[in-house]
Amino acid sequence: MNHDQANVQRFDTLAPQWDQDAAHVRMAQKVARAIRDALAPQGHEVVLEFGAGTGLATLIMAPRVRHLTALDGSAGMLDVLRGKCARKGLDNVDAVQGNVVDVPLGHYDLIYSALTLHHVQDVPALLRKLAAHLNPGGRVALADLDTEDGSFHGAIEGVAHHGFDRGVLGQWLRDAGLVNVSFSTAWTVERSNADGSVARYPIFLAVADKPQAG
Ligand SMILES: C[S@@+](CC[C@H](N)C(=O)[O-])C[C@H]1O[C@@H](n2cnc3c(N)ncnc32)[C@H](O)[C@@H]1O
């Protein structure tokens, strides 16, 4: 089984319980609100979310934009997302199954993602692809873990990066042709260790713009 197949299988298995973890839901919602506040959508935007999962961020962003494509590799996660959108009456969301690395994309005013970049092996190549599918003046917002020691996930197949260095990711965004790169801390996960100490895992939010044409 390759890296991407391992991810699909893992998230298909996790999907029915994903929203039962209160700490996880809280983290996803905090990060999603930080993304929404940073992108400040006005209501006319056509948007791509990749790694949409069960839609914890989708439900926060969709009411604020014109159309949102919720892309995910896992059919199981998307089944949960579709059910939630139907119950909320969100008819501007299309749930699409596919790998963001190789699926054909449209063109978007905003592209965002939460806690998914660490599953992608060739991040610079993905950033070039995302930049090519942003409209001029469009914006990208990417949230993920700062560099960590591997303890966040433990030994799990399908995790390609133990977080990211902000300086390195910022340079990758600029190399992809994006400008106005900025970073903030969207949320910090805190976990109690067996010895009573607390492990902290900050989650960055990187925002960048595609230059206006001309
Ligand atoms: C850690 S979960 C985060 C889900 C959601 N963003 C959240 O915060 O609850 C990562 C999600 O990304 C999806 N994923 C991982 N790699 C992907 C890829 N290359 N293309 C599309 N989706 C991917 C997984 O199926 C999973 O739903």
3-state SS record for 136-187: EEEEEEEEEEECCCCCCCCCCCCCCCCCECHHHHHHHHHHCCCEEEEEEEEE
* From 3, 4, 5, 7, mutation site for ligand 1 pocket: most ligand atoms within 8 A of C-beta: 7
Closest CA to 19 of 61, 65, 53, 44: 53
pLDDT of residue 151: 87
CA distance 112 to 207: 9
pLDDT band at 6 (very low <50, low <70, confident <90, very high): confident
pLDDT band at 194 (very low <50, low <70, confident <90, very high): confident
Residue nearest to atom 18 of ligand 1 (CA): 99
Which atom of ligand 1 lies nearest, measured to the CA of 11? 25
- The 10s digit of each residue's pLDDT in 142-175 is 999 999 998 888 888 888 999 999 999 999 999 9
Ligand 1 centroid – CA 50 distance (Å): 7
- The 10s digit of each residue's pLDDT in 91-141 is 999 999 999 999 999 999 999 999 999 999 999 999 999 999 999 999 999
pLDDT of residue 80: 98
| Average pLDDT score, the chain | 96
Instruction: Determine the 3-state secondary structure of 114 from DSSP.
Output: strand
Q: How far apart are the first and last CA of the chain?
A: 46
Between 166 and 23, where is the model more confident?
166
pLDDT band at 77 (very low <50, low <70, confident <90, very high): very high
Ligand 1 centroid – CA 64 distance (Å): 22
Q: Which residues line ligand 1 (CB under 6 A)?
A: 7, 11, 28, 50-51, 53, 56-57, 71-74, 77, 99-101, 114-116, 119-120
* From 69, 82, 116, 122, mutation site for ligand 1 pocket: most ligand atoms within 8 A of C-beta: 116
Ligand 1 centroid – CA 214 distance (Å): 35
Domains of the chain plus CATH, in order, are: 3-209 (3.40.50.150)
Which atom of ligand 1 lies nearest, measured to the CA of 15? 27
CA distance 146 to 19: 23
What is the value of pTM for the model shown? 0.97
Where is 112: in which H helix or E strand?
strand 108-114
pLDDT band at 214 (very low <50, low <70, confident <90, very high): low
